[in-house]
Structure 1
Amino acid sequence: MGFLDILLGRTKPVAPDLDRLFGLPSAAVTLEAAAGFTPTGTGAVCFSTVEGAAFAEAHQEVRALLDADSERRNSPLPEQGRELGGGPPVELSRDEYGYSWLVSRRTPDDLPALVSDLHAVNSALEGSGFGPQLLCSVAGFRSAATGRDGGLRRLGLVYLYKRGTFYPFAPLAGAGRRRDNALELQVKAALADDLRIEQDLTRWFPIWGAPGL
């Protein structure tokens, strides 16, 4: 079963509810109290790669929308942004599987603004007719404590666009592609009252190489 099969499933999808993204800031408070994770300031929207003038125009619309945010222009960028020489309001990258990511970076203490960015990116692409290509959005988190692999613990809260649900993805550091399933289940239980958690664990797809994780 491929990436799209797992994300989209074989049943009729529910209508997307992007406003559920605004539950992330309150979930972050719970997550820090329960597991010691705090936002990284990086989030991204994943979609099946689109070529052509229509998408280029939609991408420019997204960049203009976020660039119009005066608070972003006047705020210091997180460390990742400084390493990129300041960076554009939203970066476009492509992973090894051929999927595209529109990446937004904020200061780690400004998760509400990052969530607004993710909502705006999804809404702009949806409004431009690219809703069928939207797959998921992710907000990155990390913990100062080391995990069982000895590395810093990382976590992504993933929103499935066509399901309207969230799930945790916790990649382990080091060689190989492994995930911390115990941590993911811990986060699932902790955030049950904050987010609509995806109950079908087969849809908890590993987003290896996702920006910010």
Structure 2
Amino acid sequence: MGFLDILLGRTKAVAPDLDRLFGLPSAAVTLQAAAGFTPTGTGAVCFASVEGAAFADAHREVRELLEADTDRAESSSSGEPGAGPPVEVTRDEYGYSWLVSRRAPDDLPALVSDLHAVNSTLEGSGFGPQLLCSVVAFEETGEPGPARRRLGLVYLYKRGTFYPFAPSADGGGRRDNALELRIKAALADDLRVEQDLGRWFPVWGAPGL
């Protein structure tokens, strides 16, 4: 990093390493043992929307790839809990798009493969700069439905790192910072956790949270 970069607060870009997503299943085991959170079966990739035929084609390719999964189709048609609409696209209040994938809660490896495929397809089509993050949703076990706390493990595409995002149980647009730091410590050996807390951006409106 050059002197000018230091003065301007710039750092060199880190090459994305999407294979780090495959560390999530083992991290989920640690998360359940340490904090009592289990996957909900919902995950999503967030990206900045782009107009144009090329992006529309890449977007369609991603959806067709996921919807062609025979295991997903069988799961959805059988009405398995957590299956829901297998693939959908939503847009949050900030204008970002989310491509949402749903699997059975006990099939986290398949969900992670979906997220990897979405990121890889968009990256391979030249839309890496539009990729922002991927989120996998977890919920607290052993509590009544409305009282269950939610937690997202967020993968920052451009950093290649993870961090926890925990909305407070009482809502109101607040975060449970104590829980987030507890999860950070618990997953230190399972994932490459983002050490710069200033980059733990809130992902309000993320699917499943």
Common fold: TM-score over 0.5: yes
Shift of 1:105: 0.5
Where in structure 2 are the equivalents of 1:114-129 lying within 5 Å?
A: 114-129=111-126
Identity of aligned residues (%): 78
| Residue equivalent to 2:157 | 161
RMSD: 1.8
Distance 2:48 2:80 in 1: 28
Correspondence 1:24-173 to 2 at 5 A: 24-76=24-76, 79=81, 81-82=83-84, 87=85, 89-145=86-142, 151-173=147-169
2:4 maps to none
Call closer, same or farther: CA 1:81–1:177 in 2, change over 3 Å.
Answer: same
Task: Count residues in correspondence.
Answer: 198
Counterpart residue type for residue 169 of structure 1: F
CA contact (8 A) 1:90 1:105 kept: yes
Q: Give the partner amino acid of 1:43.
A: G
The Cα shift of 1:144 comes to 2.5
Is contact 2:40-2:82 (8 Å) kept?
no
Corresponding residue of 2:178: 182
Distance 1:135 1:78 in 2: 30
Are the aligned partners of 1:78 and 1:105 in contact in 2 as well (CA < 8 Å)?
no
1:28-82: CA deviations, max 9, x gaps?
A: 0000000000000000001111122111111110011112211111114555654
Query: Which structure 2 segments of 5+ residues have no match?
Result: 1-8
4+ residue segments displaced more than 6 Å:
none
Unaligned runs of 5+ in 1: 1-8
Secondary structure at the aligned position of 1:75 is classed as helix
Contact 1:41 1:78 in 2 (8 A): no
- Choose from 202, 206, 209 the match for 2:202: 206
Query: Are the counterparts in 1 of residues 83 and 104 from structure 2 also a CA contact under 8 Å?
Result: no
TM-score (normalised: structure 1): 0.88
CA contact 1:45–1:103 (8 Å) conserved in 2: yes
Greater Rg over alpha carbons, structure: 2
AA at the equivalent of 1:204: W
Q: How far apart are 1:173 and its partner, in Å?
A: 3.2
Distance 1:14 1:122 in 2: 16
Partner in structure 1 of residue 3 of structure 2: none
Partner of 1:5: none
